[in-house]
Amino acid sequence: MTVADAPPARPLILGSTSRYRRELLTRLGLPFDAVAPHVDETPLPGEAPRALAQRLALAKARDVAERHPDAVVIGSDQVADLHGEPLGKPGTHERAVAQLQRMRGQTVIFQTALAVVCQADGFEQTDLTAVEVRFRQLSDAEIERYLRAEQPYDCAGSAKSEGLGIALLDAIVSDDPTALIGLPLIRTARLLRAAGLTLP
């Protein structure tokens, strides 16, 4: 079979409404659509952060794949893990203040799970990246100034490392540099190649 005879590449869908994940995925140079998954993100009783992130990433990919069975679908989820307790998106200024007060001087593990699903091919693979983030010993005034400046209320852990939030940290330890922003691109590229897509 020649290149001209090769079947067309399957469409790629990002199963997410996150603007951060959309911006990251554009870096791979592949055309894609973004579709909102319909998944309840409530943690199960006693569910560990790692398990929660993995379950939700796969549930998001499967949900969108059911509606688009010929597509390769990416699902991802991130949970901030403070000593085994999941911390979600704060949603409000008050909750963000409380999160950052709890995390100051602490090491938080950001569990970023990834799933790629294609129903037509029976393809389903998952991966998980654990990013270690060490927060500085922040004063209440620093927390307040940061939140007023950046308003990261839609971010797990109440801080944007790609923006001013980097000033809150002592260190980031990761083998996939975009994982903390919400989509580990090294692993995403690996799973997309496994699913049969050709990256530029």
**CATH assignment at residue 42:** 3.90.950.10
The predicted pLDDT at position 156 comes to 85
The question of whether 176 is a catalytic residue gets the answer: no
Residue 199: inside a domain, yes or no?
no
Domain assignment of residue 71, yes or no:
yes
pLDDT at 124 over 70: yes
pLDDT at residue 28 greater than cutoff 50: yes
Confidence of residue 8 (pLDDT cuts 50, 70, 90): low
Q: Is residue 151, in this structure, part of any structural domain at all?
A: yes
Residue 172 lies in a domain: yes
The vertex-35 CA angle with 66 and 155, nearest 5°, equals 120
Contacts of 34 (CB under 8 A, 6+ apart): 13, 14, 15, 16, 17, 22
Q: What's the pTM? A: 0.90
**pLDDT for 42 beyond 50:** yes
Q: What is the pLDDT of residue 2?
A: 45
Segments in 80-198 forming alpha helices (H): 93-103, 140-150, 185-194
**Angle, alpha carbons 192-114-109 (nearest 5°):** 140
pLDDT score recorded for residue 183: 96
The residue segments making up the domain with residue 127 are 3-194
Catalytic residue among 33, 40, 63, 77: 77
Average pLDDT over residues 34-54: 95
Give domain status of residue 180, yes or no.
yes
Mean pLDDT of the chain: 93
At which residue do the structure tokens 């399957």 appear? 10
User: Has residue 59 been placed in a domain?
Assistant: yes
Q: Is residue 200 one of the residues assigned to a domain?
A: no
Q: Taking residues 10-33, what's their average pLDDT?
A: 95
Domains of the chain: total: 1
The answer to whether residue 143 scores a pLDDT higher than 50 is yes
Query: In the predicted model, is pLDDT for residue 74 greater than 50?
Result: yes
Residue 109 lies in a domain: yes
